[in-house]
Amino acid sequence: MGAPADRPWPGTEAEAVAEQERIRRAADLASPGPAPGEVDRIAGVDVAYDPGSDLTVAAAVVLDAATLEVVEEAVHTGRSRFPYVPGLLAFRELPGVLAALEKLSAPPGLVVCDGYGYAHPRRAGLAVHLGVLTGLPCFGVAKSPFAFSHTEPGPRRGDSSPLLDGRRDPPEVVGRALRTRSGVKPVFVSAGHGIGLEHACAHTLRLTPRHRLPETTRGADGLSRRVLAEIARDRREPRGAARG
């Protein structure tokens, strides 16, 4: 499917920034990508962290694009290779995400990341990075606008407004604030690799029939948290220990 999880990985911030510059140059930002109805399987990926250690659980949950039913799940448990640094989160999360995706029986037609894509200071957020490494169309749906500005979109589902980088003159559009539920705060969609913003927003609305966040994100977040909770429980109660 793509690069293995044990590929050489930057060890310093300077190396990571240089790698992001390479990733940005390699990203396909021109393709409109698949529209709703043109892919059969859509995956969501997310990572849960153990607050007491460097343990991480990465999850990939695949949905049937038509019914939004879960058709496959995979997880990978590992250790963080890279510290938390704002703007460099991909280097902390991607090894586990790549490993989880590799465990799927077949590549999904599209991947939705819980985070940013082009809406990143170096235009190389998690969705850009993952798309380049795997060759899969990827985009990001984030809960906050990160370092960018926007006007509040209209109150109805489907209303949107540009997400802008005001450091540029004129400001550059890096994504879109999108209302997925009427009267509920928007999410922030940005293209990643192999899919444009229009189709990314269309998929986001298709994936949010009942909730603010895409069903892909909700599935991956829930799975990673459940597995992490099971690991924590097993640490407290070793296998074979008497219960009750």
Binding residues: 46, 114
Burial class (CB in 10 A: 0-12, 13-18, 19+), 23: buried
3-state secondary structure of 216: helix
Annotated binding site for Mg(2+): 46, 114
Task: Count other C-beta atoms under 10 Å from residue 37's C-beta.
Answer: 10
Is-cis flag, bond preceding 170, omega within 30? Answer: yes
Element (H, E) at 173: strand 172-178
In the sheet where 55-64 sits, what is the strand order?
70-79, 55-64, 41-49, 110-113, 138-142, 187-193, 172-178, 160-165
Rg (C-alpha) for the chain, rounded Å, is: 18
